[in-house]
Chain A
């Protein structure tokens, strides 16, 4: 591919895709290069899918600013893209006297961060709201605005909208080198050379390595692993709010949260590691997560585990996100988008577009109404294709043959089995493919051969 673009985004995680969407809608000619065989091959493939208000984010940080903007924009556009919102609310729960004394500080910080509806609640109110929580839950801080979304469909929708506006997404396209003439960049990728006026680095856990193409990296990535245990569907009704731990210096608590797919999960852990790509689970940690979940909700003891996974947050040695323009290098850095990137992505894209205007060129003042590209709904509580008939292939998650076929077609077909799972939920239920994985392997035979 020998083509000229206004913008080349390196990295097809949720952040890169939100950036691509933003600049494509603005009318720029954009390309995105992703090293994996599908989008969402890095941090964005396995997170908790919580839409955060920012109530506990570092005050005055860029992270908070982007989270708030991202949160607001998600709510504005989600219906047009057919994206779900499970209005779960969250409660920071105190499990002992010491944690109880920390609650007022949490409320105060939330108010400072502009989240005015956050308030402390008593043990009585907590029990009314969450009757299944263990009796040693003493009180909490109620955060009405924390919600649950679908972490795969959102970035997929951003990708589709960008494509509808003429953007190009290249997969199996690791950027291995870049050369800047003073005017434009030529990126060497596994899919050939790409020329672009401005490059945006959104390479997640590889961000500092990619940054070195433009300058000595101002941040160093410190991948932080999070392991998660997902319980089977009957657990969903045991909880409404996201249950958050009181942050203390000594202990790192874990979160209990429902998922848009009708499950309940516990995690993630926070474990620093050097490895940038592989996130392994380990038995003892999973066992601990599971028993901690049962301590918090005793009724979980009777419910099986559906799935386990681990994700890698692109944390860095910096306290805040690193988003800046390098004017003389035609480069925008979007680095260290650690544990809040799903929420913040749209806000980050907006901030980056401001940097672009300040440093490189004006964007059209009032672009025409964008093309909306609704994605298939994967979430529970809304209409799903099996309800309209059709052959169910994945029985645990009720995924139809038609959904699988659709995920293998269109402008951005699944690039690998993981991509197919993320587009359909197939094979992600309690049997983990016992009943349907061979059938699906047959349906997809010869499909996943590493095309761009």
Chain B
């Protein structure tokens, strides 16, 4: 069985930063397993500015940041299109790649699989099931990776920072959201958020607005919301569910022994920015190197 000092699951900012640091610390046998065709993680499709400050003291777009991360990982063993299917508590991995399934093991496994947003289904949002309902992550890929405009006037559900990323993403292709809806009385992102939305984008932010259901046969036609006890219908042709982050770790067993496993970046703990994840990846690498020494 293929065996390594460290296997890093996930080649986003966290995983790539950890791999670089481990190698710099003299740990030779490190491999990164990344299921996408290209490493870089979420920043690959965050087409707007806001990346690179903590790591490189630059202000980059996400794709540019991802590119720099890949450059800094040149020469390291980063295997793309390689998916970890299963982890077992003794440090063994089932891995899928172009030649099928294989088993691997490592002295230490770092889980750096990132996070994603909660989809409509897990929020138990009622209504019909038309096309044009998606998370920010999917929208970003439509817009920045495939130059595809899935709708023209969606509503945005949520008002976290990522919701404003959804706004920026929409603007890139001239998509004009009709409203941003927040269930709580106040928006979740810092105060200027609503003003930015209103003035820079002309998108009304409506707080205390609970999404009840989605209407439409083939495509989204409207959403029904409840606001201060009253129901109303907002015509729109798409729904973007933003935020409510869930670590992408559902397949991994709970209670993994800490001497063999650790996790870092957005696969664990509260949501962090790419820069924080990059720093955390490096920090995790230090810990692992110390452990293996």
Q: Does B293 have its Cβ within 8 Å of any Cβ on chain A?
A: no
Cβ contact within 8 Å between A308 and B121? yes
Cβ contact within 8 Å between B116 and A434? yes
Cβ contact within 8 Å between B148 and A232? no
Shortest C-beta distance, B105 to chain A (Å), equals: 20
Q: Does A386 have its Cβ within 8 Å of any Cβ on chain B?
A: yes
Q: Using Cβ atoms and an 8 Å threshold, which residues of chain B touch A280?
A: 126-128, 213
Question: Which residues of chain B (100-122) have a CB below 8 Å from chain A?
Answer: 100-101, 116-117, 119-122
Contact of B251 among A229, A233, A308, A389 (CB under 8 A): A233
Cβ contact within 8 Å between B250 and A434? no
A398 to B83, CA, bound (A): 9
Q: Using Cβ atoms and an 8 Å threshold, which residues of chain B touch A232?
A: 250
Cβ contact within 8 Å between B250 and A304? yes
Task: Give the interface segment out of A167-175, A206-214, A436-444.
Answer: A436-444
Cβ contact within 8 Å between B128 and A278? yes
Closest to A437 in B: B138
Cβ contact within 8 Å between B148 and A441? yes
Sort chain A's interface into a size bin.
35 or more
Shortest C-beta distance, B281 to chain A (Å), equals: 20
Cβ contact within 8 Å between B137 and A389? no
Question: Which residues of chain A (396-452) have a CB below 8 Å from chain B?
Answer: 398, 417, 430-435, 437-439, 441-442, 445
Q: Using Cβ atoms and an 8 Å threshold, which residues of chain A touch B250?
A: 232-234, 304, 430
Question: Which residues of chain B (125-148) have a CB below 8 Å from chain A?
Answer: 125-129, 131, 134-135, 137-139, 141-142, 145-146, 148
A442 to B101, CA, bound (A): 27
Cβ contact within 8 Å between B83 and A395? yes
Q: Using Cβ atoms and an 8 Å threshold, which residues of chain B touch A417?
A: 131
A278 to B214, CA, bound (A): 12
Residues A290 and B124 in contact in the complex (CB < 8 Å), given A389-B100, A437-B138, A438-B148: yes
Task: Give the interface segment out of B13-21, B63-71, B91-99, B200-208.
Answer: B91-99
Cβ contact within 8 Å between A438 and B145? yes
Residues A441 and B99 in contact in the complex (CB < 8 Å), given A280-B128, A307-B121, A434-B135: no
Cβ contact within 8 Å between B142 and A432? no
Cβ contact within 8 Å between A387 and B122? no
Residues A433 and B119 in contact in the complex (CB < 8 Å), given A234-B250, A395-B83: yes
10 CB contacts below 8 A, A to B, read: A278-B128, A283-B212, A304-B246, A387-B101, A388-B100, A392-B96, A395-B83, A434-B135, A437-B141, A438-B138
Given contacts A282-B213, A306-B121, 19 further A-B contacts (CB under 8 A): A232-B250, A233-B251, A281-B125, A281-B127, A285-B126, A286-B124, A286-B126, A290-B124, A304-B246, A390-B98, A395-B35, A398-B85, A433-B134, A434-B135, A435-B138, A437-B141, A438-B139, A438-B142, A438-B146
Task: Rank and list the top 3 A-B pairs by shortest CB-CB distance, nearest first.
Answer: A438-B141, A432-B119, A282-B126
